[in-house]
Amino acid sequence: MRLDSITLHEVALTRSDGGTGEALIVQASHEEHHGWSEIAIGRTPWHGTEFFDSAWLFASTYAIPELIERPPVHPSGTGIRLERLRGHPRTRMALELALWDLYSRTHALPMLDALGGGHQNLTFSAKLKIQDTLQDLEKLADSALNRGASVLHVAIRPGWDIDPLAALRSRFPLVRIVADAHGSFDPSESRILASLDQYGIECLLEPFSPDDTTATTLLAKNADSNIWVRVRNERDLANAPHAHVAGLLIDGDAFGGFRPLLDVATFCLEHGLLGALAPSGATVLSAGHTALLAAATGLDVGPLAHYFGQWGRDIVKPGWKPGKLGLDLPTGSGTGLTVDRPYLQRQTRRTEVITA
């Protein structure tokens, strides 16, 4: 494929509620065509080994020059081009996705077709954070369902567990509910978690610390509800069948490329596991790529509803949003998403263009 330059943008964002955020954006360019992606990491290393400065150094000094000097014939060869380098899977994933987008736009193809095709319409869930009151939670759920979400992805913790699920089940008797514990419970509280079955939850996600596979296994054997766990790396994936869980919420960006994600999807099929991809970036670019990858791999898609309207203004122009019947994938060449380039430039705090 043809590749003239790859540009990194560090962008400042403002939330709808007045808060602030930021994103690290990749722009791959050839003549008038541009492919876009987001490196799904945070500014600091509190939540992972990749962060803005480390990703910038890895990409600008090593990975991007490698791709510029020897562009892959096809985006699927990105991983091979970078195989001499170690680490930074999220940065690798973003670079590859930007090349997929560029390739698709250059050839006037929808990116889903370039990836091999898949479902054009996806069901998706809405993430419901812990609220001050049950009334606030119900209002949030009602709003999410009106925006097209078909699943309520409800955060729980010790002390905020039975009451919110009981309230939501009473208010929405037919809606699918996922209870997400974020590893906040102690194994001694397994009886409380098992009692959540009575509210007809679709699954209980990550009840205990990811390292406590013994407690997870015991609960999976004794609870009526399906137990799911988060998968953030190869070790989590390998451990899942031994824990007797029913499904996996997969951090797709952590696997470093489309081909490894296909391997994850195959692993799920071979072990009888359900699987869903969870976006982990800040912008609608991240949500769009996650939806496309889920459709192309045959996996479900995790919580996406909060990506629509969380920013006062996103770097992606308005247009793609959920409907009453689910989430239709963007149409048009590439991802089908249009980056607001003048706004991106105004919000960029630092940028670097790497050329041949």
Q: What structural domains does the chain harbor?
A: 5-108+337-355 (3.30.390.10), 121-328 (3.20.20.120)
Q: What mean pLDDT comes out for the span 277-284?
A: 91
Q: What mean pLDDT comes out for the span 22-45?
A: 97
pLDDT of residue 325: 66
Sign of the torsion angle spanned by Cα atoms 356, 88, 309, 290: positive
CA atoms within 13 A on the CB side of 40: 28
Which of 46-55, 56-65, 204-213 is modeled with the greatest confidence? 56-65
Name the more confident of 318 and 159.
159
Question: How does pLDDT run across 234-264, given as a tens digit for each residue?
Answer: 999 999 999 999 999 999 999 999 999 999 9
Paired tokens of 302: 């995790």
pLDDT of residue 307: 87
- The 10 Å CB-count burial string (b at 16+, else e) for 90-105 is bbbbbbbbbbbbbbbb
pLDDT of residue 136: 98
Name the more confident of 139 and 306.
139
d(CA 59, CA 156) in angstroms, rounded, equals 37
Q: Is the pLDDT of residue 352 over 90?
A: yes
% the chain with pLDDT above 90 = 83
pLDDT of residue 326: 76
pLDDT of residue 65: 98
Q: Are strands 20-30 and 33-39 parallel, antiparallel or unpaired?
A: antiparallel
Question: How does pLDDT run across 292-320, given as a tens digit for each residue?
Answer: 999 999 999 988 888 888 898 999 998 78
Q: What mean pLDDT comes out for the span 48-73?
A: 96
Nearest partner of 178 among 251, 90, 246, 252, judged by Cα: 246
Q: Is the pLDDT of residue 182 over 70?
A: yes
If DSSP codes are grouped into helix, strand and coil, which group holds residue 186? Answer: coil
Contact yes or no for 141/129 (Cβ under 8 A): no
